[in-house]
Structure 1
Amino acid sequence: MRTVPSLDLAADYVGSIRAEVQQRHARRHSEPTDFTASFLLGGQIGSAPPGLRLIYPQGNAIHESSEHPFLQMGEVQYGKPLLDMVTSQWSLEAAARCALVSMDTTLQSNLSVGPPVELLILTGDRLDGGRHLRWGSEHLFLRELRSQWHQGLAAAIGRLPPFPWEESSLNREKTYKNAR
């Protein structure tokens, strides 16, 4: 890994090692067993920009893009619409909060997803280990995040435009109240 010239080649290397290990373990077991695994590989090589690769069990990899600046493993139906809002214009912290809300939405909707929740924020051109946080599901920060999200979502739904039939009844109600 210390000699690869690009993140793509590093992902290819991890994918090939994963395939070798999977085949070795499969030969040892007489019963059918699933030895598949997906990996997230992130980092920066030399002066290239930092990047992220999702390495599938088959060994191939995909990367993030400016249109979709994230990669998601596992459940995609619950919190993914929140991640779709993130753009490269967002700060790392804003994107991380969105990712945590997405994760919390999945935690609330799917019993097979559980704590702990971990967050690691790495910035380019720095080798300081980044900012790492780890919480249990009832940590004060996560409870506050969930509460603020629910309050904000309820307020946003309250500001959505009314259906056509609501407008006419609202106008009649206002007219009736003004007439009294």
Structure 2
Amino acid sequence: MTYCVGLMLEAGMVLLSDTRTNAGLDNIATYRKMFHFEQPGERIITVLTAGSLSVTQTTLARLQEAIDDPDATHETSILMAPSLLKVAEIIGDTLSTVRQDIVHKMNASKVSTAASMIVAGQRAGGLMRMFLVYPEGNFIEATEDTPYLQIGEHKYGKPILDRVVTTKTSLEDAQKAAILSMDSTLRSNLSVGMPLDLAVIKCDDCKVTMQRRIEAGDEDFARMSNAWSEALRDGFSQIPLKT
């Protein structure tokens, strides 16, 4: 399993993903779950993936193949699509088709082919947009009321996002919230693991403004994790119990 989160703010977008993939307790591997399709200054599209690795990898391969096709059109290539909505439609259709193809080949197997994606980006002259694409290819969009999207093992990292994140949250505080959301998930679910991929896309940059890989043992991450644990313990001890 995995955990990916995307925050859409007035100042830009913050995206974070883990890299753990497991097919049983003794078959654990590391695979990147964050992918950038970029024309600096013109458009940036970032895709986060969760679920069946074969489905997500095949989907990404087909998206890249469509980009590289000399006969590509705005209906087939996400780098030629006229809007982020069209990008989400192309990715949703591709994901759904790949999943159906693999399901037919695995009818006798009980292996899950479910996969989901977060699609975030902006094109020059357009608005930033962020979508959650479901296995069936349909999708929902992040809004002012819900300015973040999650896929994978999302329940452990949701409470802090609900409490502190709004569209007016700064990019610095959003990175902190995303990292602590991931820290909560790492502590509660062994199917999510390091290293982590963090990216920041400032509004109207139309490129990845900052990206960083956070490895196991990262001192900054450990400092934040320890400070968060201490703050929670202190806050808990100060709440009176009335009987």
- Identify the residue that residue 9 of structure 1 maps to in structure 2: 86
* SS of aligned partner of 1:90: coil
Q: Which structure has the larger Rg over C-alpha atoms?
A: 1
Amino acid at match of 2:91: V
* 2:241 pairs with 1:163: yes
Q: Deviations over 1:127-150 (max 9, x none)?
A: 342211111232111110111111
Shift of 1:164: 3.2
Determine the structure 1 residue equivalent to 2:206: 127
Aligned with 1:65: secondary structure?
A: coil
Choose which of 136, 151, 163 in structure 2 pairs with 1:58. Answer: 136
The Cα offsets for residues 44-84 of structure 1, whole Å up to 9 and x where unpaired, read as 13322211111111101111111221100011221110111
> Which residue of structure 2 lines up, in the alignment, with residue 69 of structure 1?
147
Shift of 1:29: 4.5
Give the conservation status (yes or no) of the 8 Å contact 2:84–2:123. Answer: yes
Q: 2:229 aligns with which of 146, 150, 168?
A: 150
- Of residues 34-43 and 74-83 in structure 1, the stretch that sits farther from structure 2 once superposed is 34-43
Distance in structure 1 (CA, Å) of the matches to 2:214 and 2:96:
33
Structure 1 ranges of 4+ moved more than 6 A: none
- Does 56-65 or 31-40 show the bigger shift? 31-40
Quote the residue 2:55 is aligned against.
Answer: none
Question: Residue 190 of structure 2 corresponds to which residue in structure 1?
Answer: 111
Higher helix share: 1
State the Cα RMSD in Å: 1.8
Identity %: 32
Q: 1:30 to 1:68 in 2, by over 3 A?
A: closer
Q: Is 1:21 matched with 2:98? A: yes
How far did residue 10 of structure 1 move? Answer: 1.2
CA distance in 1, matches of 2:219, 2:161: 23
Q: What SS does the aligned partner of 1:73 have?
A: strand
The worse-fitting range, judged by mean Cα deviation, of 79-88 and 24-33 is 24-33
Query: Match of 1:43?
Result: 121
State the secondary structure of the residue aligned to 1:48: coil
Q: For CA contacts below 8 A with separation 6 or more, give which structure has more relative contact order.
A: 2
Q: TM-score, normalised by structure 1?
A: 0.82
Contact 2:132 2:140 in 1 (8 A): yes
Paired positions, count: 164
Consecutive unaligned residues of structure 1, counting only runs of 5 or more, are 166-180
- Could you say which residue in structure 2 is the equivalent of 1:89? 168
Q: Distance in 2 between matches of 1:124 and 1:20?
A: 32
TM-score, reference length from structure 2: 0.62
Q: Is the 8 A contact 2:132 2:141 kept in 1?
A: yes
Structure 2 stretches of 5 or more lacking a match? Answer: 1-77
**Counterpart in 2 of 1:138?**
217
Q: Is the 8 A contact 2:161 2:177 kept in 1?
A: yes
1:104-162 CA-to-partner distances (Å, cap 9, x unmatched) read 111011111111112111111113422111112321111101111112222222332x2
- Larger strand percent: 2
Distance in 2 of aligned mates of 1:164 and 1:35: 49
